[in-house]
Structure 1
Amino acid sequence: MSTEDNRKPRRPMTDPADKRSARDRILAAANDLFYREGIRAIGIDTVIERAGVAKMSLYRAFPSKDDLVAAFLDMRDRMYWDWWDTVVARYPDDPLRQLRGLFEAVGRRTSDPQYRGCPFVNTSVEFPDPNHPARAVLARHFAELRRRLTLLAEAIGLAEPAPLVDQLMVLLEGAYSICATMGAAAPSASVARAADILIQAHLSPNLSRPA
């Protein structure tokens, strides 16, 4: 007798207590899997199994994997700005403390054992094609990051915020990358101090300027 199992694959079982829509379950599964394992390493069937939905449900919500990737990044974008808003709300009407608070929070964020790096940078490495749908979400995210940092730099009194904003963006994304690479050995505690040095240098009246 053949040992081959000719039975049809079982339909994914959904937890009756899970009241989320199929789309929301798919997106939640993709969010976890893509972030932890990488987008290219995860196939659609793995997402379907984790979400507990039928394949047709996935393709009704997301016609292609590229569409799912873009939706994943949109979700991560919303999560990131929710986190940002929560941090700055702790220091109302104090933009200097808001800036410092953000980088203190980055240090804590990157020291989490579950941290796997910046999902936007990770995705940019996996999808270098400028025409991939993910790239539009990435461009929008980093434009918003620059806009928000610029507003804070202006609010602390800088007439020319761009140099500080450039440096803080390098520090921020560098911190995300090195902490994802080095794990527990990464210098997470140095992130806030490095940001403070940059901020104070630009606030100093003795800051040298090009002639």
Structure 2
Amino acid sequence: MRPNKRDELVRKALQVFYRDGFHATGMDKLVTETGVSKTSMYKHFRTKEELIVAALQLRDESFRAWFLDRIQELSDTPEGQLMAGFDALGEWFAEDGYRGCMFIKAGAEYQEKSHPIHQQAAGHKQALLDHFIRLATEAGTKDPEALGSQILLLKEGAIVSSVLLNSCKPAQDAKEAARVLLDHALAK
């Protein structure tokens, strides 16, 4: 099925926001980059912030679908999937055009906790945290909430480090640290 104009606009805007940032991207730039007229853009979105929220929703859906599918492809056990997340990150870090996490950027650019963009970014991280806690629970760890939180922390730190150090190595470093935490959480 052919995507409608709104979906196409969101997909194209997502690429521009990811490449150039949110505050640095004005509506005129979006009009030029997406090929959508200002009239059409405002027909679908009253403000740039509404378009950003829609772009983040699309990114959330696509990233989580890819990430969760990929860790299931890499391992069929909860413990293995917790570790495989770092292998998936390493693959992502090596992609052409990799520029880090849109949700970290969104949270940094829109820091007011009540702002819809900040809430969308926080919702993405909460969904990942919930998934890690679920895997830690299924693995039978002593404190699944703590381990899930620690895995998320390592994941997020690896993303930031990979961008700032221009390296894929943080994924492997984080995986090694996660292995220590998982082993400790599984010890009886």
Q: TM-score, length-normalised on structure 2?
A: 0.90
Kindly indicate whether residue 116 of structure 2 is the aligned counterpart of residue 133 of structure 1: yes
Q: Hey, what does 2:161 align to over in structure 1?
A: 178
Aligned-residue CA RMSD (Å)? 1.8
Q: 5+ residue gaps in structure 2?
A: none
Q: TM-score, length-normalised on structure 1?
A: 0.81
Q: CA 1:20/1:185 → structure 2, altered by over 3 Å: closer, same or farther?
A: closer
The number of residue pairs the alignment matches comes to 187
Question: Does structure 1 conserve the Cα–Cα contact (< 8 Å) formed by 2:129 and 2:148?
Answer: yes
Kindly indicate whether residue 61 of structure 2 is the aligned counterpart of residue 63 of structure 1: no
Cα distance, 1:92 vs. partner? 6.7
For 1:114, which of 92, 97, 116 is the aligned residue? 97
Q: 5+ residue gaps in structure 1?
A: 1-18, 206-211
CA–CA separation in structure 2 for the residues paired with 1:98 and 1:194:
15
Deviates more, 1:176-185 or 1:63-72: 176-185
- Give 1 or 2 for the bigger CA radius of gyration: 1
Q: CA 1:151/1:92 → structure 2, altered by over 3 Å: closer, same or farther?
A: same
Kindly indicate whether residue 137 of structure 2 is the aligned counterpart of residue 154 of structure 1: yes
Question: Does structure 1 conserve the Cα–Cα contact (< 8 Å) formed by 2:13 and 2:55?
Answer: yes
Kindly indicate whether residue 36 of structure 2 is the aligned counterpart of residue 53 of structure 1: yes
Q: Hey, what does 2:146 align to over in structure 1?
A: 163
Q: Deviations for 1:151-177, whole angstroms, at most 9, x for unmatched residues?
A: 100111124212211211110100111
Q: Deviations for 1:63-99, whole angstroms, at most 9, x for unmatched residues?
A: 1001011111101110121112212332575111111
User: Which is richer in helix?
Assistant: 2
Q: CA 1:184/1:200 → structure 2, altered by over 3 Å: closer, same or farther?
A: same
Cα distance, 1:120 vs. partner? 0.5
% of aligned pairs identical?
30
